[in-house]
Amino acid sequence: MTLTPGSHVLVTGGAGYVGSVCATVLCEQGYRVTVIDDLSTGNRAAVPSEATFVEGDVLDAAPSVLADDCAAVFHFAAKSLVGESVETPAKYWHGNVVTTLQLLDLMRAAGVDNLVFSSTAACYGEPETVPITEEMPTRPTNPYGATKLSIDAIITSYAAAYGLGATSLRYFNVAGAYGEVGENRAVETHLIPLVLQVAMGFREKIFIFGDDFPTADGTCIRDYIHVRDLADAHLLAATSNEPGTHRIFNLGSGDGFSVRQVIDTCREVTGHPIPAEVAPRRAGDPATLIASSARAVADLGWRPQRSDLHTIVQDAWSFTAGLGDRAHAARR
Ligand code: UFG
């Protein structure tokens, strides 16, 4: 089925951070969006008001959504915490691999052949060189990355045998916000939102997990990509998927910033001193992760517009400060 504005699309996990921004952009571009989310980690308020929202298990809710002239599926619903995946791998293999396999079978039964799959840099593990291209070895160092990589093998074979047209997008460090949709998790582990919580006065200081890595200032280097640019890539992927083909793209800015550089940028943007203290390394953190997104630029025509670190932090800060205002308003 051709995908054009007006088409019905399913967004699983559309109450989560990246899923809700993509759902918002899809609504803005005129798509008819149904979000399925069990709200285990997502926020109901992040689902755009124009979307139809179904609260519940993806596999229970998907058949009727897929049967309703659905032209494409954007599959975000997943477990996505590295540390948790090491402690409770069963939750990850079932929640990510088994659920996606069953969703693919439901799509096949309903004749829906267009998929965009939310994946991760964790598929590569510890790289030998950067920037990381899609041809480099995939050696995930935790169950989270292993589940996402396994799903790619399933998708590749379904594309070849059953005519699925699919794209897997391997995100590097997603950050920033889009208006009133941003990072707002019950349990936060990501650097930028944690640093901004210090600036908001919700935390006393930020811990820097290790300053003895082989990098210029000793702290880990990551490639931060704006969530709004990421949403563009999803649309470009869905509108160019070809039946029988599975494409894989890395999505990053191609620039690396150390933990200290991120904290400095947050200080500049917020005007807050943001106390920081060096703490031991976090298990499993690679020293440097930088993407090559050359393939996405060449094949999808992807042009990130907002992925410089200052804009990312500025947008995240506007969102975080707004959250504080909204919480304050709600208490009055
Ligand atoms: N960090 C700190 N202090 C904190 C939080 C993070 O120093 O309080 C550091 C981390 O050690 C890391 C960097 O900040 O060096 C970024 O950490 P994040 O937790 O924000 O992000 P990660 O790079 O660990 O994780 C990202 C994605 C994951 C993906 C992983 C691939 O969020 O989904 O990259 O390695 F699995």
Q: So what's the pLDDT on residue 293? A: 98
Alpha-carbon distances, residue 126 vs 47, 122, 287, 314 (angstroms): 35, 9, 8, 30
Nearest CA to ligand 1 atom 36: 122
Distance 286 CA to ligand 1 centre (A): 9
At 54-105, the pLDDT tens digits run 999 999 999 999 999 999 999 999 999 999 999 999 999 999 999 999 999 9
Q: What is the DSSP string of 167-201?
A: EEEEE-EEE--BTTB----SS---HHHHHHHHHTT
Does 227 contact ligand 1 (Cβ within 6 A)?
no
Q: So what's the pLDDT on residue 269? A: 98
In this structure, what token pair is assigned to residue 52?
A: 């139809």
Among candidates 110, 232, 247, 70, which has minimal Cα distance to 165?
Answer: 247
Does 235 contact ligand 1 (Cβ within 6 A)?
no
Q: Is the pLDDT of residue 326 over 90?
A: no
- Point out the ligand 1 atom lying closest to the alpha carbon of residue 289: 35
- How many percent of the chain have pLDDT more than 90? 93
In this structure, what token pair is assigned to residue 197?
A: 């919580």
Please, what is the average pLDDT of the chain? Answer: 96
Which of 17, 124, 144, 178 is labelled catalytic? 144
Among 149, 282, 309, 313, the mutation site with the greatest number of ligand 1 atoms within 8 A of its Cβ is: 282
Nearest CA to ligand 1 atom 21: 190
Does 121 contact ligand 1 (Cβ within 6 A)?
yes
At 291-309, the pLDDT tens digits run 999 999 999 999 999 999 9
DSSP 299: I
Among 185, 220, 225, the mutation site with the greatest number of ligand 1 atoms within 8 A of its Cβ is: 220
Does 149 contact ligand 1 (Cβ within 6 A)?
no
Distance 71 CA to ligand 1 centre (A): 34
Q: Is the pLDDT of residue 329 over 90?
A: no
Among 124, 142, 259, the mutation site with the greatest number of ligand 1 atoms within 8 A of its Cβ is: 259
Q: So what's the pLDDT on residue 324? A: 66
Flag whether the pTM goes above 0.85. Answer: yes
Is residue 31 flagged as an active site residue? no
d(CA 184, CA 21): 12
Distance 172 CA to ligand 1 centre (A): 10
d(CA 271, CA 293): 32
Q: CA dihedral in degrees (253, 86, 150, 288; nearest 10)?
A: 30
At 105-124, the pLDDT tens digits run 999 999 999 999 999 999 99
Distance 25 CA to ligand 1 centre (A): 26
d(CA 100, CA 98): 6
CA 247 to chain centre: 17
Distance 191 CA to ligand 1 centre (A): 6
